[in-house]
Each structure stands twice: as C-alpha cells, then as structure tokens.
Amino acid sequence: MKVLVANRGEIAVRIIRACRALGLGVVAVYSDCDRGALHVRLADEAHRLGPAPSTESYLRIDAIIDAARRSGASLVHPGYGFLAENPAFADACRQAGLTFVGPSADAIARMGGKTAAREIALGVGVPVVPGTPPFEADAPEAEIVAAAETVGYPLLIKAVAGGGGKGMRTVEWPGQLVDAARRAASEAQSAFGDGRCYMERRLVEPRHVEIQLIGDHGGRIVPFVERECSIQRRHQKVVEESPAVALPHETRHAMADAAVRIARAVGYTNAGTIEFLVDRDGSFYFLEMNTRLQVEHPVTEAVTGVDLVQWQLRVALGEQLTLDPARTLEPRGHAIECRVYAEDPDRGFLPSPGLVTSVTVPSGPGVRDDRGVTDGDDVPVYYDPLIAKLTVWGETRGAAIARLRQALDEYRVTGVHTTLPFFRWLVRQPAFVAGAVSTTYLDGVLAGRREPFVQPTEQQLRDAAIAAAVAAWRARADTRTTSSGTSRWLLAARKEQLR
C-alpha cells in the first residue's frame, strides 16, 4: 500500500518517516525547483507536478490526482498548508477512489469559514469572542462603520477564509477602520481568493491556547493536553509549548470538553485542532478550527508519547482509536518548539532564500529536530521559508528551557540567514522564562528593540581590526578613512558570522 504525500519540506519528511514506521510505501511530488529536495530523496518514488510557483505545482489538484493514479497510491496525505484545508481537494480524492488522510470535505467546509465555525461553536454552547457577520470586500463604508459599532474598539478585522495572520488588521479607533477593512479585504482576496472579512472584539493581552484532537470513523473523539501558542509575531505563531503555563486543571478539561463538542457537531474524523483565546480572568473563547495536522504537533507528541501522524494514517485506514483520554490529557513533562525560518531577524524578518551550505544539528536526550533541508539543499523563494522545527522536552518547564537554550546555542545553519539568533535572545527574556506572555507580547518588545540579533565574535572582531589596519596601511589613508574601513570590515565580519 502506498501513500502520496501532497506537500514538501519538513512536513513531507515527517509524514514519510511515519509511513516508513507503518510499513507503507511513499510517493513524493515535487515542483521543478524541488527536484532534488530532501523529501524527494527519501521517498520510494517521486512525480513532477510542474513549474516552481505553487499555483502551477503544489496547488494543482489535477496534477496531484494524476500522480496518485500513475503511482498506484491509495492514500493521500495533505500535510499542512497548500491544499490541506481545501474541501475541493478532499472531495476530488474521494471521487478518484483515493483515501484522503484528513476529515471529510463537508467538515473542512463547515469549519473552514470562520464565521460559520463560530455559529457551530455557539450552537453547542461554547462561547465565542463577540463579532460581526461577514461583509463583502466592496461593502459600503456606512455598513462597515455600523457593524464595527456593534463590536466596539479595539477590534480585529479578519478574513473569513484566512489563516496565518493574512487578511488581518488591528483597529484601535474609528478613524482607522475603513482603510484597514479595505486593506484586509484586498490581502484576503489575494491570499485566499475570497475577500470577505468580519470584525471581532480584540481582547486585551489574551493568551492563545489550543486543543489537539483526533476522531475515528466510529464517532470516538479523543482530546489531548493543551498547547500554548501565545508567542506570535504579526499574528503568526513562532514558539509553541505544552502544557500551557499556569492553566488550571479544571480549565484544561473544560476546554477539551468544548473542543470535543464542536468536533462532534460536524462529525469530525482524523486530526484537527480547536483554538481558543484565554482572557486575563481565565475565561476562554472559541477562535477557530484548523482541520488538519498542525505545525506544532511535535510538542503534543513529546508530552503524550503519541505519534499523531501514525494515528492519522491508521484512522484513515479504518482503525478505531484505542487512546485513553485520561492519559492524553495528562502531560508527562514539558515541551517547547521553535520554528526555524530562513529569515533575517535583523532586517525585519525578511525571507532569506538560497543555498544552505551546512547544517549542524543539536542532539541528546529530549531534543528533536524536524528538518526539510540539509547540507547543499536550496531554500526556494517560492514557498514558506520554514526550514526546521526544534523541539525539546524536559521533566519541568525550567528543565525544558535550559535544554532549549543549549540546543539553540549548538544549532548552526550557514549559507542563509535564519531566526536562530532571534530565538537565542528570546528564550533568555524574563517574560518568556516566567511564562508571562500574551499574543501581543512579542510585537511589543520587538518594536522597542534596537540592537542586532547577530553579534560578531571576539575572534571576528580581532580579525576585522587586523584587516582594517592592513587596508589602512595599504591605502595610506588618514584617520577618517581608517575609521570608515574599520566599519566596513566590522560589517563584513558580521555578515560572515555563523547563523
């Protein structure tokens, strides 16, 4: 039996390894720029989808179905991103006689629209943040203003079909509203092909806490211990951990019960995640559902000992869940994950595509590295620049933080800029250590930060000083030229630092 992995990068590698553990054959797909990628090299066979742009390759439902037919694959795992939450893809797989490793197209459609999902949550008694019905991208200004008045300020504008912070704007006062609404709608249309948005009251310094769950075809749904994803940059998660910091036992079980009720209302099968916002008084509100595997699933695996990807495959093959919620809701130790991106934190986290010349990965007890690239691989400009996820486990949160610091200090990637220097700084911040963070914490501290994340080593400073002196002697320059030369050499040294 074969599984076609309709994705790329680190998640494709992760799924391939789960398939191997179950004795399943693996079929990879690739675009032209991914011909030699790690996920292609690890698969039993690989099929070309098309040119590099995702619209001509990884988003082509017809090409993926054709690859499955040609390879003889009977299951299709979508990973996350691309087509993972596209009900048309799930339905196309079904019509082609393929088993889609995920929920039904109906469940994806019902929970994929944020406003519709809110109504489902309310229908089973789960509170939601006060919000508005959706409005069209070209809605009259008066309609937008009137809707906002029912919510109050500050508020968030969100894309109905959105995710990852796209099509989202914060509005602090009425004068910002209309421009923010137009910009959010335009971004939503570009990103998702759907410019509809809605408004939601913005809670003050909320925490983002989510419940992983998995359901089988017999109607059983098993929830897992919560994950905290409050450390976000521009509404995008960058650090996740499990369990959440200082979340009462009673709240955990109440959230898990709410998540199961929502999933059961749509007949949910396979893996999914119910996301909540937690207010400062401990109240929680339904935010949205991700009808797929999450990027941060390794922290749940670390504290429960459950391989979520294997269970996705087993459920898709018709197995009944044998997991015990009494165990899946009780964490063993603490886990933290950092998303390592090919981005330059000293240039506003701009993507840093290019050739990865070398990778030095930390190891040891409690250290896990999920990577999609290795020495000599390329980070293409066409896709999300996530290159790896570093996950650590410790018996306590303090032990996990200590292990994470050591692992980050050992981790080296050369050839492209990465977010590793940023994480080395973040995990030593007092608020992070204390767990005193919210979804607005990181943007706030970054706005006031002026120092570079990448600092030259003492040896590089000495080498730069020597090189500058030699350059000055050769040019027989005056003091000003020497100073300028020194600056250039210091800058060159900084750029060459291992990242």
Mean pLDDT throughout 258-287?
Answer: 97
Annotated catalytic residues are 292
Beta carbons of 358 and 402 less than 8 angstroms apart: no
pTM above 0.75, yes or no: yes
Task: Please give the Cα distance from 51 to 55 (Å, whole number).
Answer: 9
Considering only residues 456 and 77, tell me which one the structure prediction assigns the higher pLDDT.
Answer: 77
Task: Please give the Cα distance from 235 to 208 (Å, whole number).
Answer: 10
Half-sphere exposure of 225 (CA within 13 A, CB side): 28
Task: State how far the alpha carbon of 281 is from the alpha carbons of 206, 207, 277, in Å.
Answer: 10, 11, 11
Mean pLDDT over the full length of the chain: 93
The per-residue pLDDT for 496 is 47
Strands (E), 257-402: 270-278, 284-290, 334-341, 343-344, 350-351, 354-355, 358-360, 367-371, 378-379, 386-394
Task: Please give the Cα distance from 360 to 343 (Å, whole number).
Answer: 18
State what percent of residues in the chain have pLDDT above 70: 92
Task: Please give the Cα distance from 418 to 117 (Å, whole number).
Answer: 36
The per-residue pLDDT for 166 is 85
For 33, residues 6+ apart whose C-beta sits below 8 A from its C-beta are 52, 378, 380, 382
Q: How far out from the chain centre does Cα 475 lie?
A: 51
Domain 207-447: which topology?
D-amino Acid Aminotransferase; Chain A, domain 1 (3.30.470)
Q: How far out from the chain centre does Cα 154 lie?
A: 26
Any idea what DSSP says for residue 320?
P
Strand partners, 271: 214
CATH ID of 130-201, from 2.40.160.20, 3.30.1490.20, 3.40.50.300, 3.40.640.10: 3.30.1490.20
Beta carbons of 111 and 117 less than 8 angstroms apart: yes
**pLDDT for residue 65 is more than 90:** yes
* Six-digit token string for 498: 């291992």
- Give tens-digit pLDDT for 172-183: 999 999 999 999
The per-residue pLDDT for 482 is 47
Confidence tier at 401 by pLDDT (50, 70, 90):
very high
Domain 2-101: which topology?
Rossmann fold (3.40.50)
The per-residue pLDDT for 374 is 96
The per-residue pLDDT for 473 is 74
**pLDDT for residue 484 is more than 80:** no
Task: State how far the alpha carbon of 213 is from the alpha carbons of 10, 90, 305, 333, in Å.
Answer: 22, 19, 14, 19
Q: How far out from the chain centre does Cα 146 lie?
A: 34
- DSSP for 414-469? ESS--SHHHHHHHTTSHHHHHT---TTHHHHHHHT--S-S----HHHHHHHHHHHH
- Give tens-digit pLDDT for 213-226: 999 999 999 999 99
- Give tens-digit pLDDT for 37-52: 999 999 999 999 999 9
| Domain boundaries along the sequence of the chain | 2-101, 130-201, 207-447, 458-496
The per-residue pLDDT for 453 is 94
Confidence tier at 132 by pLDDT (50, 70, 90):
very high
What are the two backbone dihedrals, phi and then psi, of residue 202, each rounded to the nearest 5 degrees?
-90, 115
- Give tens-digit pLDDT for 312-321: 999 999 999 9
Q: How far out from the chain centre does Cα 143 lie?
A: 34
Q: In 3D, which of 234, 421, 216, 235 has the Cα closest to residue 338?
A: 421
**pLDDT for residue 480 is more than 80:** no
Task: Please give the Cα distance from 104 to 108 (Å, whole number).
Answer: 6
Name the amino acid, one letter, at 383.
Y
Mean pLDDT throughout 205-233?
Answer: 97
The per-residue pLDDT for 138 is 93
For 220-244, give one letter per residue: b (16+ CB within 10 A) or e.
bbbbbbbbbbbbbbebbbbbbbbbb
Task: Please give the Cα distance from 128 to 97 (Å, whole number).
Answer: 38
348 burial type by CB count under 10 A (0-12 exposed, 13-18 middle, 19+ buried): exposed
The per-residue pLDDT for 326 is 93
